[in-house]
Amino acid sequence: MNPGVVKRLTTSVLRKAGSLTRQYRMGRKVILCFHSVKPMANHSHLHPDAFGGILRWLTIHTDVMSVESLLDADRTDNPRPAVALTFDDGHKDNLTHALPIARDHGVTFSVYVTVGLLERDPRAQVRFTSLLRQKTKDFEALSWDDAGSLIEHGCEIGSHTWDHPMLSHLSDDGIEFQLGESREILLRRLGLEHVGMCYPYGKFGRNVDARVVRATERLGYRYGLCVEHRGVAPNDDRFALPRFIVNSGSLEVLERQISGSEDYHGAISRHMPGFLARKLSPTDFLEPPDAPAPLSALSSAP
Ligand SMILES: [Zn+2]
């Protein structure tokens, strides 16, 4: 049989299995990952209208709450899914575009900032924009004042490292710098003692490993967020939590993510042998060749 047909049939069966169990699945918890909300849509930006549509749907069908509330809440007997909204990187439009829409819907979100960008480290800016394949001038990061405004409106700020490395590529010292220095600066600039960590790229076993996860716990972070397309399971490690990336305004896709019928993606990704993952998704293991190397030592900090 044609491989495309096999794939479509398998996907259809797995989705059906997810739908059948959906109605029995109490206590569902889902963390969603966004990046940027602005009218000029591209692969990682959502149009404000799409973001508004998503929030409208979520507030009707789910209970939207902070990451920590979601982790700590006992939802065992609750048929309404608990959902947390997170934003990666620290784009200025999280304040200018996403926040007003969130306020209209009575929800807040968490933003994990690439701390070197807010510190206006030029090397971090060049590195980050080359990761995005954008010109430096086309990207605008939040300022510390912006981050303060988000906090005033009930949003949470956490760390997305200093300059967005693939953490699993770094030495132990490099991991310590990226996690420790960013946490230190969040405390100094915003007075935040208890913050969450969101790992750049975020795929456990590919960009994040056990050294990273345990360093996050040891350095006093509250939790760690990965990217793995499935809901949060009761036995998940608090420092390696799964999230769904939302990169389209499709409510059909969103509904599948919330219901659980897409969870098989995350399970496959987590359990796929390394050699196969490298063959199927080689870019998951590679830093872009033209990006400046991430900082990896306290002595080289600007
Ligand atoms: Zn990122």
pLDDT digits (tens, 9 = 90+) for 158-179: 999 999 999 999 999 999 999 9
Give pTM, 2 decimals. Answer: 0.89
- Chain-wide mean pLDDT for the chain? 88
Tens-place pLDDT, residues 86-139: 999 999 999 999 999 999 999 999 999 999 999 999 889 888 888 887 666 677
Beta carbons of 31 and 240 less than 8 angstroms apart: no
- Taking the domains of the chain in order of start, what are their residue ranges? 27-300
CATH superfamily of 27-300: Glycoside hydrolase/deacetylase (3.20.20.370)
Q: Which of 76, 99, 86 is nearest to 27 (CA)?
A: 76
Query: Which residues have a Cβ under 8 Å from the Cβ of 135 and sit 6 or more positions away?
Result: 129
- Distance (Å) from CA 120 to ligand 1 centroid: 17
- Distance (Å) from CA 263 to ligand 1 centroid: 22
At 14 the pLDDT is 52
The span from the CA of 187 to the CA of 86, in Å, is 20
- Distance (Å) from CA 22 to ligand 1 centroid: 31
pLDDT band at 285 (very low <50, low <70, confident <90, very high): confident
